[in-house]
Chain A
Amino acid sequence: MTAIQIDRVSRWFGNVVAVNDITMTIGPGVTGLLGPNGAGKSTLINMMAGFLPPSSGSVTLDGAPIWRNEQVYKAIGLVPEREAMYDFLTGKDFVIANAELHGLGAAAAQKALATVEMEYAQDRKISTYSKGMRQRVKMASALVHEPSVLLLDEPFNGMDPRQRMHLMDLLRQMGAEGRTVLFSSHILEEVEQLAAHIEVIVAGRHAASGDFRKIRRLMTDRPHRYLVRSSDDRALAAALIADASTAGIELDWTEKALRIQAIDFTRFTELLPRVAREHGIRLYTVQPSDESLESVFSYLVAA
């Protein structure tokens, strides 16, 4: 059993605090590190991967410090977010080089290439690869030594749905084998499909931790705000406020639109078109005004 302990870790860059007093343990199984862009996910992963020292606190692998300790890479496999690889090599040469750097041979490389289903393109130069192919070769390079800890920074970026499903299966399988798998993502659905355990980071802080259902509920139960334009805003407002799913409606004169606050998300999305049809009102604009991830997450932090 291998676990990464993050103990009261902060990291700042000059005056900017990227990670703020986070304590968590990443153990066996698949853990999703969820947060909006700029939340500090990469900073945290870089510290777990030994490429950034914490400004305060400690990051350890089964008790051993990770910073300035290259021995940890016997246990850790890293899939960085950055695209850059040795583009002048073929996929096969690249993975073989990674295996050799672990003291392994071509057989280990071949096995890793088979695992990520990249054998068909292994003799092409990496510079000719698509984003998804690059991602899989990066994955193969991290798997050559069958690490007990796998760290992946935004691994699903640029993958098509089929590749995404395949990688998810692979990570699930690795988690089931008892390996510690941590991946970061800013997309809730990705994390929800794959990780039983979720750690949420918002603005450098540890916002939530635990089962995805709990976090999902926190995220969907918040009030939703919509901007709606219609052929008759007043009539629509009157009809909507009668229903319990609506908490408040405002006529915005400058925008010439309704600002609606809904409590029950599912019921409201069903209610709005029905009410409009019944009253013969045409809907011109229905726009969620706080659907951006940042607002979802900031609601989570407040909760």
Chain B
Amino acid sequence: MYNPTVARLTYRALLGRRRALIMFALPALLIIIASVVRALVGPDDDVAAELLGGFALGAMVPLIGVVAGTGAIAPEIDDSSIVYVLAKPIPRSTIIMTKLVVAIGVTMAFSAIPTLIAGYILNNNSQQLAAAYAIATLIASIAYAAVFLLLGTVTKHAVVFGLVYALVWEALFGSLVPGARALSIQQWAQAVVEKVGRGDFITSEVSTATGAVLLVVVTVAATWYAMRRLRVLTLAGEE
């Protein structure tokens, strides 16, 4: 279910493109903000939860997920260079699984590590907030990568749709409309780590069990459908 050559090509495509800059810029921004906040207000659990939940988990992870998830497959489909990978005796499911693993790995690396560092800068992991949010970003990375990888196999405008979902749905509706909040990867990930953090800093619209189940369902369904899409990928002629 994993092909190292496909993985190598995907890593190089992901980290070699200009888009990859956003994956370095967002974590850097998070750490800078954390440092500034710490210097101005000192260690504060409320501020830490606000920043880690609102910015790190709420904006940074989905954005990195969009770049890594769609970037792992969409550009290759777009310019049809994916032909060289598909015209090989390798099951398409293996190609999807491999690209998913790479997208998850990249999203995790660029979101969990900076979140943990920012958490320590903000309040020295007081109330275990840094650990809880780092775990939440790890969990959310899996679901985001799967959803955005699927998006990359479905539409040419994967990045646009991905950004709309990440920014408009998760960030805007998610904070304004209560119903929308229940349908958000960010909320589900928070539900899972609710009990990791001490105190009542981490809350979610859904219960821990519901959040976990929904994350698994979404991840599995998205991956399954992406495999199906790749099996019937067509290349129309240039004529």
Contact = CB atoms under 8 A, between A and B. Distances in A.
B16 A73 contact: no
B40 interface: no
A52 B9 contact: no
B88 A52 contact: no
Contacts of B87: 49-51, 73, 76, 78
B178 interface: no
Contact of A51 (B3, B79, B235): B235
B3 A101 contact: yes
Interface in A71-101: 71, 73-74, 76, 78, 80-82, 84-86, 88-89, 94, 97-98, 100-101
Interface of A: 13, 18, 37-43, 45-46, 49-53, 68, 70-71, 73-74, 76, 78, 80-82, 84-86, 88-89, 94, 97-98, 100-103, 141
A68 B231 contact: yes
A69 B239 CA distance: 25
Interface of B: 3-6, 8-9, 12-13, 16, 79-81, 83-92, 231-239
A70 B237 contact: no
A177 to B, nearest CB: 21
Contact of B79 (A18, A82, A88, A100): A82
A97 B235 contact: no
B231 A53 contact: no
22 contacts: A13-B236, A38-B239, A40-B237, A42-B238, A42-B239, A43-B239, A46-B237, A70-B86, A70-B88, A71-B89, A73-B88, A76-B87, A80-B83, A80-B235, A82-B81, A84-B79, A84-B81, A86-B12, A86-B13, A98-B84, A101-B5, A102-B88
Nearest to A100: B5
A42 B81 contact: no
Contact of A82 (B9, B16, B231, B238): B238
A96 B77 CA distance: 21
Of B83, B87, B89, B234, most buried by chain A (CB within 10 Å of CB) is B87
Contacts, number: 94
A40 B81 CA distance: 21
Chain B contact residues: over half helix, strand or loop, or mixed?
loop
Given A68-B232, A84-B80, A88-B16, A102 B237 contact: no
B76 to A, nearest CB: 8
Nearest to B237: A42
A220 to B, nearest CB: 26
Nearest to A83: B79
Contacts of A18: 237, 239
A71 B89 CA distance: 5
Contacts of A103: 89
Given A68-B231, A100-B5, A46 B236 contact: yes
Contacts of A101: 3, 5-6, 84-85, 88, 90
B225 to A, nearest CB: 16
A205 to B, nearest CB: 15
